[in-house]
Chain A
Amino acid sequence: MNKEEIISQGWLEGYITGDLSDEERKQVEHHLTDAVVYKEYLAVQNKLESVVIQGEIKPDAQVKPQVLSSLHSAKKGSFNYMMAASISVALLASVVAFYFWQKSEAVDGQLADLQSQNTELTDNVQRVTNKMDNIRQDLSVLLNSAFARVVLNSTDESIVRKAVIYFNPSEQQVYLNSSTLSELTEGQQYQLWALIDGQPVDAGVFDVRKDEFQLMNSFEHVDAFAVTIEPKGGSTEPTLETMQVYGEVG
């Protein structure tokens, strides 16, 4: 639409009553910057104002105080809305805070659980690592050709039992595998003896270990090894009657 059409085709009147689409309204507003259109727009507005005022109907006198008091109640109302809104917000905040407090309690509990689990796992790893170190050490003993394998057989042929010594004279290391010996009563311990030049020498007391070697006292030269049962803590002289196994170093 051009400015002549805007004036002559009733677009200004439609603009005043709000009877145009958004697109039409924008076009009219665009043309309002034109002085001629704007002058006509003012003229139409004044005309309409005159007509509407000629058609005025006085509202009842009690409407005015109602309108004026509605201003106050609107203000008061909005204040109350504000109050209500802030109370609502406060309540909501409390609820949310409580919710998160509960959440955090639960999370704290979970955290403690996880921490203890973590400690347990660390302990387990430590145990496994230790065990693996032992096994590695035992394996290194088995694989090391410097160690002589000395089998100690039962002194009572009717009973099957044995112990195995791994003896490295150059490194002066003695490892004992006692896994097939039977468990002793409280107050008793096995004692290993090294026979050196016909004399028994204490090589250490031990309890039965099923799954690992034990490092015993070491010697440079040994003729034979023997195991006796002694009172807990061991004896200075072997009790020959309780000798369990015996083996000579090859």
Chain B
Amino acid sequence: MATTIDFTPLLIERLKCQDESAFEFLYDQYSAALYGIIFRTLNHKESAEETLTDTFLKIWNQIEKYDASKGTLFTWMYRIARNQAIDARRSHQFIAGEKSDEIDHFVHTLVQDDKKENYIGLDVVLASLEEMCQRLIQLSFFMGYSHAEISEKENMKLGSVKTKIRSCLKNVKMELKGDFE
């Protein structure tokens, strides 16, 4: 990823010139990461693919609005993908069943079913975290749930949700260092 980061300003410049090869490069670099959170938010392949397309289209159309002083290109794209996925989940309402079961359903699918976890690919990243951290990181960063929604579903105070997410993410970094570097 170091290479990508070095080229990011140039990449942004070429994207702002509507350079399609730059856009193709962007897709190759980031589609899997963005698709990861979109798919986990929607848990529906066709909708996720559609939302991924919408996300890149939005990135392409709104690259002029990207402001490097407010965050990295990845953060900007991540937020677009997350919001697109949340919007898709809200508008399509393709998830059958009661809303109150949504989070439990996802968490069950993602955390407790080992075989599905392999497919999802988060087990290695989150394995050494306490279970609460695994849930919070998945819900907040991968599944598009707001702090308020998590607070309600996990029966935690809103302030605690924020603080906990913060410390959990810090711990992930430590684990990554230990495992991958």
Contact = CB atoms under 8 A, between A and B. Distances in A.
Interface in B107-125: 120-122, 124-125
Interface in B48-89: 48-49, 52-53, 56-57, 60-61, 70-72, 74-75, 78-79, 82-83
A33 to B, nearest CB: 9
A48 interface: yes
Given A16-B71, A18-B79, A60 B49 contact: yes
A49 B37 contact: no
A55 B173 contact: no
A50 interface: yes
Given A16-B78, A67-B27, A53 B60 contact: no
Interface stretch (A3-11, A168-176, A177-185, A188-196): A3-11
A19 B147 contact: yes
A70 B142 CA distance: 25
A55 B121 contact: yes
A121 interface: no
Contacts of B60: 71, 74
A56 B121 contact: yes
Interface residues of A, number: 40
Contacts of B35: 56-59, 63
Nearest to B61: A74
Nearest to A71: B60
Given A10-B165, A45-B75, A49-B72, A54 B176 contact: yes
B79 A16 contact: yes
A126 to B, nearest CB: 74
Interface of A: 8-14, 16-19, 29, 32, 41-42, 44-60, 63-64, 66-68, 70-71, 74
A45 B20 CA distance: 26
A8 B125 contact: no
Nearest to B32: A56
Contacts of A8: 163, 166
B83 A57 contact: no
Contact of A18 (B20, B57, B82): B82
B9 interface: no
